[in-house]
Amino acid sequence: MQDWLYSDVVKDHFQNPKNVLMEDEASWPCEGRGIVGNIQCGDQMLILLRIKDDIITDVRWKTYGCASAIASTSILSEAIKGMNINEAYKLKPQDIVSRLGGLPSNKIHCSVLGDKALRSAIDDYLTRNGKPSLAGQEEVEVICTCLNITDRDLEDAYKAGDRSWEELQARTKIGTACGGCKERALEKMHEFEHLYGE
Amino acid sequence: MNKRIYLDYNATTPLSDEVKKIFFAELELYANASSLHEDGRLELKKIEQARRECADLIGCTAPEILFTSGGSESNNMVFQTMKKVSLKNGRKTIVISAIEHPCVIESAKQLEKEGFKIIKVPVDEYGIVRIEAYRQALEENPLFVSIMSANNEIGTIQDIKTLCSMAHEKGALFHTDAVQAAGKITVDMKDWDADYATFSAHKIYGPKGIGALFVKKGTPIEPLIRGGHQEKGLRAGTYNAPSIAAFGHACLCAQKELVSYADKTRKLREKLRDGLIEKIPNIRINGHPERVLPNTLDVSFPGAEGEAILLHLDLLGISVSTGSACASGSLEPSHVLVATGLGPELAHGSIRFSFGKYNSESDVEYILHNFPPVIERLRKMSTLS
């Protein structure tokens, strides 16, 4: 086929997903489980982790969703094998998108949920083992949950010169789905103003 | 992969060989149909012939056909006309169904901003307009009603004749978007008694960018595009003679083939429907079981998401559509499926197969052989299974 909707990497992971669990969840006992997403929006992801000495030794996942949702979960599952959970906890949606060779901007919001599912699975592992959650220690705070836009993205936008909500929206598409993140986003911009000045 | 199987005829059709011949020959001619010289007069003659052919397809007279750039323009024109009509009779309510095409919904929204009241009549689980709700809406003495003849996604056919006569009893004008119905089922303005009807060439093997609006004799209509005498001053702009001639011929062919087309596509539709039901557990056929376009089959596959299904089919060489949000670029699944009461999982997991005259039984066999494993695999990897 000449010209496909997504990159070749996405196409490959869509057609030949890696580490996907085709059987029942119960058939793959694990140390950490995380599920995120919403059927209303059309995407849901489950990540199961086997962890030894805080190292992710194996991973399985299930996804209900579009081609980019399937591909992004697949590529994430490859990236995190052998990773320390502290490092894995810091993975950003952007890391997944760049590994996929890019995604259309309207796809990033719903289809790249893997990092959230991963953090949820790591927290589950920590809770099961009586260890403190890493919540708050992720490198990023997801500000806009609809479009998966983080404080890092806002920081970059601030450095690029954005000051108003409209400028932020033009660059990042933040808040263009439900709009519920506006207040928190502007708080963050205020923080950056203190950090970096006008 | 060499061969592709096109099952998206409700989105658009290829030019038929017969239409192509007329269209290509016409492209060689260039005179302005408004010119007085012989070259121009010849073009005008062809336009008037096409007008008669278009009129024959929908059972009206030639002067009642107005050529436009297509369905969206025709629909917009009717809605814009309503502003003028409203000034005369003081009515401000417009009734549409919940499953109209976006160009009708958006036109209605625009009029709502300009002070009109819009009533969206709900449909039942099959997509049929709920008659009690419709009756109630008509109690408001609306200015105008717009209800599509047949739905583009689920193929459900409305009883336009009844809906139209109910509207007329209350003194309302009636418009039907017959873009999907024309050429697939009998569309008869004399029988239906509608005041306006929209249809388009590229859904019936004609070219893109040309369509028509039927305006019943004596019914008000206002131009969207001014500045020329064409179409009695109702649609300015040099005549697109090749497209109009091709449209006319497409209408002629569609009328001739109406019965054979319906028989052929219905057979393929039923073969695919029965095969899918037999081979894939837990599926839902959307739309009305009988009052449905012969060529349209809309199916939901719970547990699998529509865009992923569509792209797997695409990789198998099969072209279809989906009502999933992921394919639309919005966050909402098809408003049509939601209006029929489908939950998000069924709406996101919907696929529309729409047949046309170039499909064959072997297309259906290829799908029935290759498609079921796609659903099985997507369901196995799904969180919902």
- Distance between CA B183 and CA B346 in Å, rounded? 30
The rounded mean pLDDT for chain B is: 96
What predicted TM-score, i.e. pTM, was given to this entire model?
0.89
Q: Are B105 and B228 part of one and the same domain?
A: yes
Measure in Å the smallest separation between the Cα of B345 and chain A Cα atoms.
6
pLDDT band at B222 (very low <50, low <70, confident <90, very high): very high
Q: Choose one of B237, B253, B269: the last residue of a domain.
A: B253
* ipTM reported for the complex, 2 dp: 0.87
DSSP notation for B173-229: EEEEE-TTTBTTB---HHHH--SEEEEEGGGTTS-TT-EEEEE-TT-----SS-SS-
Q: Are B245 and B264 part of one and the same domain?
A: no
Q: Are B241 and B108 part of one and the same domain?
A: yes
- CATH superfamily to which A140-198 belongs: BFD-like [2Fe-2S]-binding domain (1.10.10.1100)
Check the CA dihedral B192-B193-B199-B204 and report its sign: positive
Q: Are B69 and B153 part of one and the same domain?
A: yes
Taking CB atoms and an 8 Å cutoff, what residues of chain A touch B345?
39
Q: Are B196 and B98 part of one and the same domain?
A: yes
Q: Are B237 and B192 part of one and the same domain?
A: yes
Buried residues in B225-257 as b, exposed as e (16+ CB within 10 A) = eeeeebbeebbeeebbbbbbbbbbbbbbbbbeb
| pLDDT tens track for B302-341 | 999 999 999 999 999 999 999 887 666 566 789 999 999 9
- Sheet holding B296-300: strands in order across? B284-286, B296-300, B350-354, B321-322
| pLDDT tens track for A34-53 | 998 878 777 899 999 999 99
Please state the domain extents for chain A.
1-139, 140-198
* Span of A73-77, B2-6, B69-73, B308-312 with lowest mean pLDDT: B2-6
A:B CB pairs within 8 Å: 74
Q: Give the nearest partner residue to B380 out of A22, A43, A110, using CB atoms.
A: A22
Q: Are B179 and B289 part of one and the same domain?
A: no
Q: Are B240 and B273 part of one and the same domain?
A: no
Q: Choose one of B220, B253, B286: the last residue of a domain.
A: B253
Measure in Å the smallest separation between the Cα of A192 and chain B Cα atoms.
31
Average pLDDT over residues B175-192: 98
Taking CB atoms and an 8 Å cutoff, what residues of chain A touch B305?
42-43, 64-66, 69
> Which tokens hold the place of B24?
């290509």
Q: Choose one of B188, B223, B253: the last residue of a domain.
A: B253
* B234 located within any domain: yes
Q: Are B234 and B316 part of one and the same domain?
A: no
* B385 located within any domain: no
Check CB contact of A13 with chain B, cutoff 8 Å. no
Q: Are B263 and B177 part of one and the same domain?
A: no
> Which tokens hold the place of B58?
């929908």
Q: Are B325 and B344 part of one and the same domain?
A: yes
Check the CA dihedral B186-B190-B191-B195 and report its sign: positive
> Which fold would CATH assign to domain A1-139?
Sufe protein. Chain: A (3.90.1010)
| pLDDT at residue number B331 | 64
Q: Are B31 and B139 part of one and the same domain?
A: yes
Q: Write out the residue range of the structural domain in which residue B101 sits.
A: 17-253
Q: In this structure, what CATH number is given to the domain that contains residue B147?
A: 3.40.640.10
